[in-house]
Amino acid sequence: MPEDLQGKQGSNGVKEELLVVSNSSIIIALARICHLDLMEKLFKKVIVPEAVWKEVTVEGKPGREKILRARFIHVEKTGNKRLVAFLEEFVDRGEAEAIVLALELNADLLLIDDRDARNLAKKLGLQVMGTLGVLALAKYIGLIREVKPIIDKLIETGFWISRRILEVFLRELGEH
């Protein structure tokens, strides 16, 4: 678990009032493989900006129906449109809105996978976690026993991860 979040955990591993903003990639990835419930169990509530909501609920998007039924996902508007426009010079619209919304809400955590967007968010002082981090946290607090079968499903559905990163990640979790 990220050090900045360790002091904020409750009996289930994560405090109930943890303020979490998410980009689309993690929501889509977990919905595709029927594990969207992990986000709800870990964070209780996940906030997304309007651009992300549109992206994850577009007609034909895999997992769309599960996402539309997910009552733990809440949509909020970003206030600083100028900052969103500026950040769009570096990342896509959904990522820019997610970063700005996380800043505006003083979020405890931003869920985001894209390397450039993660680096930008970190430079702006945000605590970030990607799909692998969410799976590691789920294992850490006992929601899942192994991450490898879930990662295998993710890869089957188009999730990309370098072999080297995957090997290191699984080794660190004791899953060779």
Residue 6 resides in a domain: no
- Tens of pLDDT, residue by residue over 38-92, are 999 999 999 999 999 999 999 988 888 999 999 999 999 999 999 999 999 999 9
Measured between alpha carbons, how far is 144 from 36 in angstroms, rounded to an integer? Answer: 13
CATH number of the structural domain spanning residue 52:
3.40.50.1010
Residue 46 resides in a domain: yes
- Find the length of the chain: 176
Residue 9 resides in a domain: no
Helix (H) or strand (E) holding 75: strand 73-76
Cα 56 to the center of its chain, rounded Å: 13
Residue 160 resides in a domain: yes
Looking at the structure of the chain, the number of domains it has is 1
Residue 115 resides in a domain: yes
* Token pair 């991860």: residue: 161
| Residue range 11-26: mean pLDDT, rounded | 77
Q: Which domain holds residue 30?
A: 14-172
Residue 56 resides in a domain: yes
